[in-house]
Structure 1
Amino acid sequence: MSHLTDSEKTKKLICCVLTVSDTRTMENDKSGKAIRSKLEAAGHHVFESLLCKDDGMAIESIIAEWLMNQNVDAIILTGGTGIGFRDVTIETVTPYFTKTLDGFGELFRYLSYTEDVGSKALLSRAVAGIVDDKALFALPGSVKAVELAMDKLIIPEIHHIVHELTKHLEE
């Protein structure tokens, strides 16, 4: 049973999307496009969508700017979450977390194991956390992984997460 009112369930959230990749361009960024499409289909607004290289300083610069924007409710990254040498998304974003959403990564890997890639799911380092009053999700770069995370975890829970983060502001 949801604790949210009807207006809270339909509130348009403001989200930012960052694709981290050394090889993709805005034209061929299918994962970023999938995130934007699913957010918009759920009635949310994508405030900004960018692409940057697998570079900690580049990721940090963009994330820091979005975190300072009081209107942004959630940030979703795709790419750079693997175990390769250039995969630095997790190391870059987790120091910002004021709280972790450990269940997100656990559920994502379980769903990946059962519905997508089998035992290869153990290579996923997908994470989610809270940075003050904003939700931040870091997803793998594959379109199937993004669709799985968006459909099964993020879209169904993002209203509740943002509500829990901001309800103290309404009191």
Structure 2
Amino acid sequence: MAISDFSFNTIDGHSTPLARFSGRVLLLCNTASECGFTKQYEALEKLHRRYQHEGLSVIGFPCNQFGQQEPGQATDIKQFCQIRYGVSFLLSEKIEVNGQHAHPLWQYLTKHKRGILGSKAIKWNFTKFLIDREGKIVGRYGPLTPPQALQDRIEELLQVKTG
């Protein structure tokens, strides 16, 4: 299995194969609207807008597994993200990232890129996975790592020259 073998449903209910993003750098993040880290939507959107034409795709995966911090329905989540943070990057339908009902993509991500002390489990909202253009998972970052801290690594993967 590879990243490109998975698909997910968008927040609008459309099946989307990750093969569609072949050759792009991906930043995948489990999100929540009522979390202390929710403001990371803003930084994710900035990365998306700055690098989407260079080959970056940001995808948010709303999840209600941590403190019930994503209680809304799809339309509520989408509206919140657009109105509050101007989110234009792709959002999935609400998923689980841990346990027996975890989305298969997230099972794959956590199996192949473990967290602190070798843990597979996602510890909280806004855990981020960075995928290179070849579909290799090159980084896993916890919620304490703000999206903007990934900018240099993203530029390196995109081979963007700044300055």
Tell me which interval the TM-score lies in, with the shorter structure as reference length. 0.3 to 0.5
TM-score (ref. length: structure 2): 0.36
Q: Which has the higher contact order (CA 8 A, sep 6+)?
A: 2
More helix by share: 1
TM-score (ref. length: structure 1): 0.35
